[in-house]
Structure 1
């Protein structure tokens, strides 16, 4: 049976504060836990006014304190921005605080211009070349499976589940080689989805962590009482995608009726392209699209994404989606 989880960008809406964003994430995480979601991930982004998850491990501690059972983790930590030792300490601490609940999803993309590189005191493009070695070192700092000259405390012996994240073929190849579960970011980069999953499954090598391939795929989901309302809610994130692609990111904007129709053709085409990994509409429509997407990808887990200007609408969208999926799965079980 397909599992369902949540990815949170910790969006900051216009007219609202960072504190508002963090409390909205708590509300969504509690809802995800109540509805039976498997895990709740926070994504690392830096120097973006509309995204508050830069200090990812700190945000996860806040989410962990507000919940009791749902797995929490990074979707993901961009390892070139850090040293393996620092991340071992941070996630070792999280595991000590929230035992048996911590996921460590790792990504390679530095996602940074020269200003951020200077702020982080790192050559991120060079650091990304060492990503495979850094993943192995980080895993060893937590598991002790290599004889390293230093021990991370907290860190060594932590029960942390490693994940490889990706939006291209590289992550799929590395996840397969290291025997890690693999999560594909189809919600913003669907182009290589099918090829990446095929490469991962074909090349998978069992490890101490995982004996057979395990795939999660992220998609954007906006559910509401009718299709028009769902499209209206989705328009805030659509504005954010357009702003990011045109170099003008900012806080999450209020929704706009008929937003896509106001756009030039290239921007409409970009949003239409992303819609292949999206489900927008009534609960019935959304569930049908999610089930079709899960069938297409044969994913073990679907990660639900989607930022709304009104945090309450995001909570309601998740409620409608999960309730609809639960009913759909129950109906498919033979009496």
Structure 2
């Protein structure tokens, strides 16, 4: 018997985004773009998710034009004639299949894979990878200005290529999050100290992107409490602290928040069942995207890096649908379930769960 997914299948609009449903493909680093240029395999990869009726595709993190932005091999960039021609083919294929697509603009900061070949130093607010763990160089004001300009330029080129909006990656311990987090930001200038100061870099990025793309182009900001350097980390211990941060970002120009959690069903603060996206929507009045192990037996970290067994689960879908029906959040991002099976949404909708191709670590080895 199929689950009634109708709350997930309603259309959604926000500025340049006009989606056929509330299901998004979550951004997932794939590293299948030799020379940092999306090729035909990447075109078909995203096209298949659009053909599977996903409303919004958020690309894997894409490198902006700054020497320290890259930290992973074969990740596509989002600047320059050759790369943008590749992205234009991706965008056109997704649009032809009825979907919409936004790039996730990414600077890794001090987080790099060992095999990355980037010769530039790792840039971060205070020369730290994690609390007390030195890595790379602390950014000067000139460095900060260069990175902000690079975000803006990549956003401008994204709009020119036909993307339907942009997402700014401010989560998971990468550069923007390194400024937000007290554990990696120990600066004593206007970019460090108070929450307002630690949010200044993120807000300046958002403002620069807004100036580059115009008022009618949707800007999504992804943030998280947890960091890959410290899963237990928190930017906000209370709803009041969260509101202080989010209000600054709203004022800067964010249209939609993508609140990243490892498990969508977990409450964020004591005394309420709301998850991070639910609190974000309630505190700001802005649309919020929820995410976290949708349709899986294990969370993001366990299922991706620790387990070889296939992971697929229907049990949490009923709760997801109910939360969406209650308007706790506006969109749901699906990651690994879609990575292995582009038709996941169609199969769930039609009651064909038994036919879903389950995610496992082996799924990471090719573009399905």
TM-score, structure 2 length as denominator?
Answer: 0.46
- Report what 1:10 is aligned to: none
Q: Does the CA contact (< 8 Å) of 2:220 and 2:257 recur in 1?
A: yes
Instruction: Structure 2: give runs of 5+ residues left out of the alignment.
Output: 1-6, 10-18, 71-76, 124-136, 171-176, 181-198, 211-217, 228-233, 237-241, 304-309, 329-368
Pick from 59, 65, 74 the counterpart of residue 48 of structure 2. 65
Matched, 1:40 2:25: yes
Task: For residues 179-216 of structure 1, give each alpha carbon's deviation from its aligned partner in whole angstroms, at most 9, with x where no partner exists.
Answer: 26242322525406544322222233xxxxxxxx4131
CA displacement at 1:137 relative to structure 2: 2.8
Distance 1:301 1:291, change over 3 A: closer
Pick from 62, 78, 84 the counterpart of residue 88 of structure 1. 84
Task: For residues 93-113 of structure 1, give each alpha carbon's deviation from its aligned partner in whole angstroms, at most 9, with x where no partner exists.
Answer: 210211251111213233434
C-alpha separation in 1, matches of 2:274 and 2:248: 28
Instruction: Structure 1: give runs of 5+ residues left out of the alignment.
Output: 6-32, 45-52, 144-155, 205-212, 224-229, 232-274, 280-284, 331-335
- Report what 2:268 is aligned to: 276
- Report what 2:106 is aligned to: 107
Matched, 1:216 2:257: yes
Distance 1:101 1:121, change over 3 A: farther
Pick from 59, 82, 94 the counterpart of residue 74 of structure 1. 59
- Report what 1:181 is aligned to: 219
For 1:267-306, list aligned pairs within 5 A. Answer: 276=268, 291-306=278-293
Distance 1:60 1:103, change over 3 A: farther
CA displacement at 1:303 relative to structure 2: 2.5
CA displacement at 1:278 relative to structure 2: 11
- Report what 2:148 is aligned to: 132
Q: Does the CA contact (< 8 Å) of 2:26 and 2:59 recur in 1?
A: yes
C-alpha separation in 1, matches of 2:156 and 2:107: 18
- Report what 1:320 is aligned to: 318
Pick from 164, 168, 182 the counterpart of residue 164 of structure 1. 168
- Report what 1:98 is aligned to: 94
Distance 1:296 1:77, change over 3 A: same
Task: For residues 266-315 of structure 1, give each alpha carbon's deviation from its aligned partner in whole angstroms, at most 9, with x where no partner exists.
Answer: xxxxxxxxx73799xxxxx86678644531353411221237245212x5
Q: Give the structure, 1 or 2, with the largest relative contact order (CA under 8 Å, sep 6 or more).
A: 1
CA displacement at 1:142 relative to structure 2: 4.3
CA displacement at 1:175 relative to structure 2: 0.8
Q: C-alpha root-mean-square deviation of aligned residues, in Å?
A: 4.2
TM-score, structure 1 length as denominator?
Answer: 0.50
C-alpha separation in 1, matches of 2:168 and 2:119: 25
Q: Does the CA contact (< 8 Å) of 1:39 and 1:70 recur in 2?
A: yes
**SS at 1:84's partner residue?**
coil
CA displacement at 1:65 relative to structure 2: 0.7
For 1:234-273, list aligned pairs within 5 A. Answer: none
Number of residues of Structure 1 aligned to a counterpart in Structure 2: 215
